[in-house]
Amino acid sequence: MAPHPLVGTPAPSFSIPDSNGETFNLTPGTTGAPIALFFYPESGSYGCTREACQFRDALAEKEVFKRSHVEVIGVSPDPVSKQKEFVERQKLNFPVLSDEKREAHKAYHIGRGMLGLTDARTTFVIDKNGVVRDALDATMNYSAHAKFVLKWLDKFTEEDQKSKAANQPDDPPTSDSREHLGAVAEAMSA
């Protein structure tokens, strides 16, 4: 299967209502944190509820989710009222957005799944710089999405550690080397 067309490109921004009817502005790359943006077919359905609850539980229980400060955001075409009920009933600890006009769906190229019978279930991993690093399109496999994000958060942690190690200065001079440098400097000024 070909990679999603947004992989490797800057993630699109959008503004749509959250579960309280407030405008939620997504502008990837501005907070310094990675984003797990998941599109799902219908709030309250069995698979979508399981998926959302897996993200809720991962945010509360998985150390890498906490340490990375990942922003988890759910999006479906359901109206605000249904999103509000869903968030409250499932005690979700992340924004759930209402995309009735399918603006975000269009921006992220979300099509139909299950031979066109339902909206696709697609999760995007966006790095702290706002670049789409990967996408998982798995309409039937709702349990794969939080695991997919977990894998990427582990990868981001590894990348950050390598970057920090590469940018660390060489070992500081020892007292012997400072004395030697002092003697060299003194000799040069004489």
SS3 13: coil
Q: Kind of pairing, strands 118-119 and 14-17?
A: unpaired
Query: What are 73's strand-pairing partners?
Result: 37
Name 44's Cβ contacts closer than 8 Å, sequence gap at least 6: 82, 85, 86, 89
Of 11, 16, 48, 52, the catalytic one is 48
Distance of CA 72 to the CA centre of its chain: 6
Question: How far apart (Å, rounded) are the C-alpha atoms in residues 123 and 137?
Answer: 7
- Could you tell me the CA-to-CA distances from 59 to 68, 91, 112, 149 in Å, in that order? 10, 12, 28, 11
| CB-CB contact of 159 with 128 (8 Å) | no
Q: Kind of pairing, strands 96-98 and 71-76?
A: parallel
Please say if 53 is a catalytic residue: no
Which of 84, 115, 79, 85 lies closest to 98 in space, CA to CA?
A: 79
Q: Which residues are catalytic?
A: 48
